[in-house]
Amino acid sequence: MIRLQLAFILSKRSILLIMFFSLALAIITLYNSDFLSGYTVLDASRVENANNFLNNSLQVIKFLSVFISVFTFIQAFSKEAKQYASYLVTDLKSKWMYFNTKLIAIFIIVFLFVFQQMWVFYVVSRVLTPYQFNLIELIVIFGKIFLQAIFFGLFQSMLIQLLNHNFTLIFPLALYWLMEMYSSKIAVESSAIMIKINKIIPNLLVNSSSWDFYLSAEKYVLSLILMYLMCAVVHMFQDI
């Protein structure tokens, strides 16, 4: 059933959108690397230039990963998807399987998008710049971007199931931009409300030359599980 879910979610519109953003991110990564300045110029202030390259690139990759996730969840839980589900769902067991295979399909799409961006960033840095980013550290950072994107996507799926309208994407994106206004740990700690929000919702924050969540990643996995359970309950009690 996962193949059927992928076939439905990856419509021509979805594929074109993902391809467009992938190409746009590749161009932005190249631009942020400033590779045209040459090795000598980039190497003169290697640490500072490398941090700027990483920070500028991650800001865009984070947003587009969240957007792709939100868009994919909209596609998967749209009115058309409900019509499609009517042919596959016959009882509670098949309804439960339909929901979970749908999520697995979305996870695969978002994972591949984030994974691709990681390798584009890594290859550009290795081939065109003097920067030596640690691959393991990049895997950890991009893994957290994936976790954040999935959380916002699940939030979107709950909204679209409850309100049944595509314009619900405004809410997760508005929440994302609100959190991005406090994009560092120091900024978050200047607001009691943002501290509470960041303790529940994962948002990758910059702290000098490092990137991390406000709390440990394990604690946000619990938030992700809770969001999944809420979405599952809403789905199981709704008519297809």
Q: What is the pLDDT of residues 106-145, one digit of tens each?
A: 999 999 999 999 999 999 999 999 998 999 999 999 999 9
- Exposed (0-12), middle (13-18) or buried (19+): which is 159, by Cβ within 10 Å? buried
Q: Summarize pLDDT for 149-165 with one digit per residue, the tens.
A: 999 999 999 998 888 77
The answer to whether 42 touches 49, Cβ cutoff 8 Å, is yes
| Containing structural domain, residue 153 | 2-236
pLDDT at residue number 152: 96
Give the pairing type, strands 205-207 and 210-212.
antiparallel
The answer to whether 73 touches 168, Cβ cutoff 8 Å, is no
Count: domains in the chain? 1
The answer to whether 118 touches 138, Cβ cutoff 8 Å, is yes
Q: Summarize pLDDT for 12-48 with one digit per residue, the tens.
A: 888 999 999 999 999 999 999 888 888 788 888 888 8
Residue with tokens 């200047």: 190
pLDDT at residue number 210: 83
Percent of the chain with pLDDT strictly greater than 70: 96
Q: Summarize pLDDT for 192-221 with one digit per residue, the tens.
A: 999 999 999 999 998 877 899 999 888 899
